[in-house]
Amino acid sequence: MSTWFSQTFPNVVYQGWGGDTGWGTAIFQTLFMTFWSAVFGGLLGLIFGIGLVVTGPRGITPNKTIFWILDKIVSVFRAVPFIILLAFIAPFTKALVGTQIGINAALVPLSLGVFPFYARQIQVALSEVDSGIVEAAQAVGASFSQIVFGVYIKEGRSEIIRVSTVTLISLIGLTAMAGAIGAGGLGNMAVAYGYNRFANDTTLVATILVLIMVLIVQVTGDWLAKKYNHK
């Protein structure tokens, strides 16, 4: 088996497990980038998404100015292609984390790249919460935070999980591009060590590993979304 593997996938074996160019390192880098940019970008997206819903025309505290500002920020960031965003915000990245290359530097554009996408998804998910339920909460004298957390987030929970799954999957996709600024990861493995060196077996294995990650996220997300849906 191992002989067959080393003969069929010689370049995969050559990369090794540990070290700067190893598979273990690449997997860790992808997971690291996905996790932390999901945390930062997710929080930012959640705040913007909630902001858009509550200040929107049908929200609980309609405010045209704040809505307009949030809406435009989200639109502009969404419009910039990620690979350009990587380069464009490099000075900002450097100011924030002290460097513009490497895995920590990648977290900045990844978070900024994913948050507008997530904000829109959250906006849609929360808009689907029945306005009658929100009105009923207002009628019992619920406070702003009770309506946001107790009604919007709780009632929209299943839908939030569903859009988070979609976002996380697209984030795994974005991390593949972070190799361009030296952040490593499976995407970098597939391109730098696979494609550029005509090592098709490396590209194939890197792709399969990414697919497995996506699959795990998808299945878990679907399961959770179903579990938390009592409609």
Partner 1 sequence: MTAPIISLKNIDVTFTPKGKTIHAVQDVSIDVEKGDIYGIVGYSGAGKSTLVRTVNLLQEPTTGSVTINGETIFKKEARTAAQKITGHELKEKRRKIGMIFQHFNLLNERTVEDNVLFALENSKEKEAVKKEKVAKLLELVDLSDRAKQYPSQLSGGQKQRVAIARALANDPEILISDEATSALDPKTTRQILALLKKLNDEYNLTVLLITHEMDAVKEIADKVAVMQNGRVLEKGSTLDIFTNPQAELTKEFIATATNQDQAIATITASDTIKNLPEGQVFAQLTYSGNSTNEPLITSLYQHFGIVANILYGNVEVLQGTEVGSLLVILSGEQDNFEDALDFLAARSVSVNILKGEQA
- Which residues contact partner 1 (rule: CB under 8 A)? 130, 132-133, 135-143, 146, 150-151, 154-155, 157-158, 228, 230-231
State the nearest-atom distance from the C-beta of 140 to partner 1, in Å.
Answer: 4
Instruction: Kindly tell me which of 97 and 142 has the beta carbon lying closer to partner 1.
Output: 142
CB of 123 to partner 1, least distance (A): 19
Name the minimum Å distance from CB 22 to partner 1: 45
Q: Are 55 and 62 contacting, i.e. CB atoms less than 8 angstroms apart?
A: yes
CB of 172 to partner 1, least distance (A): 29
Plot region of 198 (φ>0 → left; ψ -120 to 50 → alpha; else → beta): left
Classify residue 1 as exposed, middle or buried by CB count within 10 Å of its CB (0-12, 13-18, 19+). exposed
The nearer residue to partner 1, 75 or 143, going by C-beta atoms, is 143
DSSP for residue 38:
H
- 79 or 139, CB closer to partner 1? 139
Burial class (CB in 10 A: 0-12, 13-18, 19+), 172: buried
Which runs of E-coded beta strand occur in the chain?
none
Name the residue nearer to partner 1 (CB basis): 90 or 153. Answer: 153
